[in-house]
């Protein structure tokens, strides 16, 4: 009995040409996934048109209305019908599909939107008259005169009304509105000189502004820094390091946050290629590799990074949505990101994020602070001495006070008081045999002695490993790992890098590889599992840092056991020596797992806790 195959009919199928309406609806499935996709395409068109101010209005999460207004060059009345035709664009001439300097270039967005919704375009070029054209479900109207001062207004109503099945896949209004906001904010980061306004007009009227970013002035980094503070938040801007590096035709700019300012997910990772927001596995893998030594695997760095290069070095025509790219030299890009970020983190020295101090102060504040009816002025130092003398006990207690003074004696000698001028100050006390209290010129520092010394020992061990190399342990009997020929070729292409880390592999015929050496510091390991884990990382990120991470994990464990233990009493000179070494050691602001090693509190903040402001 013949099995029934549902995809094969009883008669020969006939090849036919689809009509334009069907073609546009199919294209819309690739270009317009949800309302935020439509917003992305329309805002990118506005930026390509030279707009300096763009307003995006939406209703019901963009399902019933999306309106994008810009002050760009506009579209003439004779060009409006052509703008709604497939593959009609002003961005390229078709001679070179790699030399692309604009956001859009495929000429699919507007006809796709008109095929699945009710689209109206009103536009005016400088020195001309305004015109309007509409298209509903693929049916185009005639061009008509309109009233508009400048630029273009694109209004999209009832998205997917012509393809009702797509409406079932829409999420809640709130989720769709959040996605629209994310798209606009990413484009706002890419173009600091352009002003953006996002408005929710659900229910009619002017609605409410949910996001606003005015055009920024100044040089590249100043304008970007202010725009990132507006979009991501002031805390990110305060704790971000400036990145500016170049290699072999690629330039990396932007800002990357300190490891102690990390997130529980990758929501604060913004990556751009030639100004285009992208989600690329290569870039994400490089980011992970750069922070691998400073964060645990469940923490994620916050960054806004821009990769710029000649358009011929990157292919942006990989997917209709243009969110994926393909580099001609991916290894150069990855190496640039890793080296630039690690260099910036090293230059940050012992710096930790300001949010650590904010969280500490928040934990200290009472839930219901007492508010006095009046605030007394702080007396001068001379007045305070006079008050103390007047209030001093006259008999009995004075002699007792000399023997049992409540004043804490300094732990350091007078010649060492200049330590207070240093970043981490001078040690004054040790609490619970684990926390060092140091006094600075502007406040105080609390140091976790075990976490701090653990990072110092770890950095010392890494420096020794870099100088002397990773010792390899030869296997008495090489372990043969069976792989596919493609996997074996990919793994053997990395054999030189793996050899430097103590993992020696050789081809063994077919798809098999022979593991002859393993890193001695890892001890006895399962070579088969290690090799396959490396291949999994190659699939996920395009490169593998697994062996190096395992070695560094061992060094971290050794550093933990070899560092100053909690519960040990330290002498004043030991505590000060630890503070000085922290100031001289890169990355000492966080332990091996990304947690802060110290908290700095400013005197003004401490006084505010006690109502002395």
CB atoms within 10 A of CB 523: 9
276 pLDDT above the threshold of 70 = yes
> Whole domain around residue 57: which residue ranges?
20-213
Query: What was the pLDDT predicted at 405?
Result: 37
CB atoms within 10 A of CB 525: 15
Last residue of a domain, one of 213, 236, 270: 213
Query: What was the pLDDT predicted at 200?
Result: 96
For 31-64, what is each residue's pLDDT tens digit? 678 899 899 989 998 998 899 999 999 999 999 9
* Residue 525 pLDDT grade (very low, low, confident, very high; cuts 50, 70, 90): confident
Query: What was the pLDDT predicted at 105?
Result: 58
Query: What was the pLDDT predicted at 547?
Result: 65
For 386-428, what is each residue's pLDDT tens digit? 554 544 444 443 444 444 333 343 444 444 556 678 888 899 9
89-93, 241-245, 559-563: which has the highest mean pLDDT? 241-245
For 455-498, what is each residue's pLDDT tens digit? 888 888 778 777 777 778 888 888 999 988 888 888 888 888 78
**342 is a domain residue:** yes
Residue 132 or residue 94, greater confidence: 132
Here the tokens at position 266 are 């990758």
Same domain, 135 and 106: yes
- Strands annotated E in 27-186: 53-59, 65-70, 118-124, 130-136, 139-140, 144-146, 151-157
Query: What was the pLDDT predicted at 29?
Result: 54
**201 is a domain residue:** yes
Here the tokens at position 225 are 């820094």
Same domain, 161 and 298: no
Same domain, 331 and 199: no
**365 is a domain residue:** no
Residues 82, 87, 90: CA angle, nearest 5 degrees: 65
**Rounded (10°) CA dihedral 30, 36, 38, 44:** -110
* Residue 378 pLDDT grade (very low, low, confident, very high; cuts 50, 70, 90): very low
Can you tell me the mean pLDDT for 585-597?
Answer: 82
- Please report the sign of the dihedral spanned by the C-alpha atoms of residue 276, residue 280, residue 282, residue 286: positive
**372 is a domain residue:** no
Can you tell me the mean pLDDT for 10-18?
Answer: 69
CATH number of the domain where residue 289 is located = 3.30.230.10
* Residue 558 pLDDT grade (very low, low, confident, very high; cuts 50, 70, 90): low
Residue 125 or residue 11, greater confidence: 125
Helix (H, G, I), strand (E, B) or coil at 430: strand
341 membership: H or E segment, kind and range = helix 330-347
Last residue of a domain, one of 170, 186, 213: 213
Can you tell me the mean pLDDT for 498-522?
Answer: 84
Last residue of a domain, one of 348, 368, 393: 348
Cβ burial 354-367 (10 Å sphere, 16+ → b, else e): bbbbeeebeeeeee
Same domain, 458 and 592: yes
Can you tell me the mean pLDDT for 355-374?
Answer: 57
Least confident of 188-202, 377-391, 526-540: 377-391
CB atoms within 10 A of CB 136: 17
CATH number of the domain where residue 195 is located = 3.30.565.10
Same domain, 192 and 247: no
**397 is a domain residue:** no
What gap in Å lies between CA 220 and CA 243, rounded to an integer?
12
Query: What was the pLDDT predicted at 563?
Result: 67
452 pLDDT above the threshold of 60 = yes
For 214-236, what is each residue's pLDDT tens digit? 999 988 899 999 999 999 999 99
Q: What is the mean pLDDT of the chain?
A: 80
367 pLDDT above the threshold of 60 = no
**390 is a domain residue:** no
Same domain, 83 and 206: yes
Same domain, 164 and 247: no
Q: Please give the C-alpha separations between residue 449 and each of 240, 361, 518, 555, 576, in angstroms, as whole numbers.
A: 26, 20, 35, 19, 11
Residue 131 or residue 611, greater confidence: 131
Here the tokens at position 354 are 């300001």
Residue 604 or residue 592, greater confidence: 604
CATH number of the domain where residue 502 is located = 3.30.1540.20
Can you tell me the mean pLDDT for 5-21?
Answer: 65
What gap in Å lies between CA 531 and CA 483, rounded to an integer?
10
Query: What was the pLDDT predicted at 414?
Result: 44
What gap in Å lies between CA 36 and CA 280, rounded to an integer?
19
- Please count the structural domains in the chain: 3
Same domain, 88 and 148: yes
Query: What was the pLDDT predicted at 169?
Result: 82
Same domain, 45 and 62: yes
**431 is a domain residue:** yes
Query: What was the pLDDT predicted at 518?
Result: 85
* Residue 371 pLDDT grade (very low, low, confident, very high; cuts 50, 70, 90): very low
Same domain, 206 and 226: no
Here the tokens at position 116 are 């699945």
Same domain, 553 and 478: yes
Same domain, 229 and 339: yes
**410 is a domain residue:** no
């Amino acid at each position: 009995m013949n099995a029934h195959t549902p995809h094969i009919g009883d008669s020969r199928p006939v090849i036919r040409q689809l009509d334009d309406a069907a073609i546009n609806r199919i294209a819309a499935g690739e270009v317009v996934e949800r309302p935020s996709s439509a917003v992305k395409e329309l805002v990118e068109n506005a930026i390509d048109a030279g707009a300096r101010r763009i307003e995006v209005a939406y209703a019901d999460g963009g399902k019933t209305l999306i309106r994008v207004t810009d002050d760009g060059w506009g579209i003439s009345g004779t060009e409006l019908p052509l703008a709604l035709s497939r593959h009609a664009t002003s961005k390229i001439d078709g001679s070179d599909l790699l030399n692309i300097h604009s956001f859009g270039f495929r000429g699919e967005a507007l006809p796709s939107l008109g095929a699945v919704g009710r689209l109206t375009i009103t536009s005016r070029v400088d020195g001309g008259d305004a015109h309007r054209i509409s298209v509903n479900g693929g049916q185009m109207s005639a061009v008509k005169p309109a009233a508009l001062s400048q630029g273009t207004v694109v209004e999209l109503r009832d998205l997917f009304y012509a393809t009702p099945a797509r409406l079932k896949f829409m999420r809640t209004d709130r989720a769709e509105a959040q996605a629209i906001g994310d798209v606009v904010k990413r484009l706002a980061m890419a173009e600091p000189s352009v002003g953006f306004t996002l408005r929710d007009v659900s229910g009619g009227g002017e609605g409410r502004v949910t996001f606003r970013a005015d055009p920024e002035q100044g040089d590249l980094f100043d304008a970007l820094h202010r725009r990132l503070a507006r979009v991501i938040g002031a805390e990110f801007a305060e704790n971000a390091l400036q990145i500016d590096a170049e290699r072999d035709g690629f330039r990396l700019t932007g800002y990357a946050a300190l490891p102690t300012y990390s997130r529980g997910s990758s929501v604060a990772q913004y990556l751009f290629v030639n100004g285009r927001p992208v989600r690329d596995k290569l870039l994400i893998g490089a980011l992970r590799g750069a922070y691998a030594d400073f964060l645990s695997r469940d923490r994620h760095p916050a960054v806004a990074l821009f990769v710029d290069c000649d358009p011929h070095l990157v292919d942006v025509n990989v997917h209709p949505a243009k969110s994926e790219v393909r580099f001609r030299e991916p290894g150069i890009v990855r190496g640039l990101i890793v080296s630039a970020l690690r260099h910036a983190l090293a230059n940050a020295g012992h710096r930790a994020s300001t949010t650590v101090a904010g969280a500490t102060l928040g934990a200290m504040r009472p839930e219901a602070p007492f508010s006095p009816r009046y605030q007394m002025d702080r007396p001068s130092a001379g007045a305070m001495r006079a008050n103390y003398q007047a209030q001093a006990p006259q008999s009995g207690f004075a002699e007792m006070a000399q023997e049992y003074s409540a004043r804490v004696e300094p732990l350091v000698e007078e010649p060492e008081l200049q330590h207070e001028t240093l970043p981490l100050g001078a040690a004054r006390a040790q609490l619970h045999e684990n926390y060092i209290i140091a006094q600075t010129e502007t406040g105080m520092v609390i140091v976790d002695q075990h976490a701090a010394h653990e990072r110092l020992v770890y950095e010392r061990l890494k420096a020794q490993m870099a100088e002397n190399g990773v010792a390899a342990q030869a296997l008495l009997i090489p372990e043969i790992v069976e792989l596919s020929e493609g996997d074996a070729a990919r793994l053997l292409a990395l054999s030189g890098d793996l050899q430097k880390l103590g993992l020696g592999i050789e081809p063994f015929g077919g798809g098999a590889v022979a593991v002859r050496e393993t890193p001695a510091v890892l001890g006895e390991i399962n070579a088969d599992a290690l090799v396959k884990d490396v291949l999994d990382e190659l699939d996920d990120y395009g490169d593998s840092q697994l062996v190096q991470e395992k070695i560094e994990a061992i060094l971290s464990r050794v550093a933990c056991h070899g560092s100053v233990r909690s519960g040990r009493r330290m002498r004043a000179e030991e505590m000060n020596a630890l503070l000085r070494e922290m100031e001289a050691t890169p990355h000492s602001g966080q332990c091996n797992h990304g947690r802060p090693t110290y908290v700095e509190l400013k005197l003004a903040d401490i006084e505010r806790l006690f109502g002395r402001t």
